[in-house]
């Protein structure tokens, strides 16, 4: 069923999963201990029903079909695996190491999205110290 949707809708679904996941992980500080798949799904469900333009473009009959939900869950899993396996760039690593040395901190990060979060935290801390 998911395969029958337009490429634009499929791309929008993938983007909404990525954005929701990265936002959720940011809210919990990328803490594996605080991660709750049900809470992530609740956040994503709220996002798609209130903010995602693609959701209204899918016919209600498709949204009600259990096969669609199964395929959507598989897409979520694929996207999360891709995000978590996307390594940080060399530039991110260098920037984070410079900031950590300057701030005398040690944050672990395992993927590109988490590195963005860590870099933002460190930059905000550095800016706060300079003010």
Determine the Cα–Cα distance for residues 93 and 91; give it in Å rounded to an integer.
5
Q: Provide CB contacts within 8 A for 59, sequence distance 6+.
A: none
Q: What pLDDT, in 10s, does the model give residues 107-125? A: 999 999 999 999 999 999 9
pTM: 0.90
Q: Are residues 45 and 14 in the same domain?
A: yes
Q: What pLDDT does 112 receive? A: 98
Integer angstrom CA distances of residue 54 from 74, 102, 103, 119: 18, 44, 42, 31
Domain total in the chain: 2
31 & 63 share domain? yes
Distance between terminal CA atoms of the chain?
Answer: 54
Q: Could you tell me if 56 and 119 lie in one domain?
A: no
Residue 49 backbone dihedrals phi, psi, to 5 degrees: -85, -20
Q: Which domain holds residue 72?
A: 2-85
């Amino acid at each position: 069923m998911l395969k029958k949707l337009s490429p634009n809708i499929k791309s929008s679904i993938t983007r909404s999963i990525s954005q929701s996941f990265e936002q959720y992980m940011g809210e919990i500080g990328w803490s594996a201990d605080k991660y709750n798949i049900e809470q992530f799904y609740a956040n994503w469900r709220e996002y798609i029903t209130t903010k995602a333009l693609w959701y209204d473009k899918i016919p209600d009959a498709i949204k009600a079909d259990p096969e669609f939900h199964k395929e959507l869950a598989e897409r979520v899993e694929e996207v999360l695996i891709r995000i978590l396996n996307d390594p940080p760039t060399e530039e991110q690593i260098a920037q984070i190491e410079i900031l950590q040395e300057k701030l005398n901190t040690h944050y672990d990060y395992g993927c590109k999205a988490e590195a963005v979060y860590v870099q933002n935290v460190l930059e905000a801390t550095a800016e706060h110290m300079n003010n």
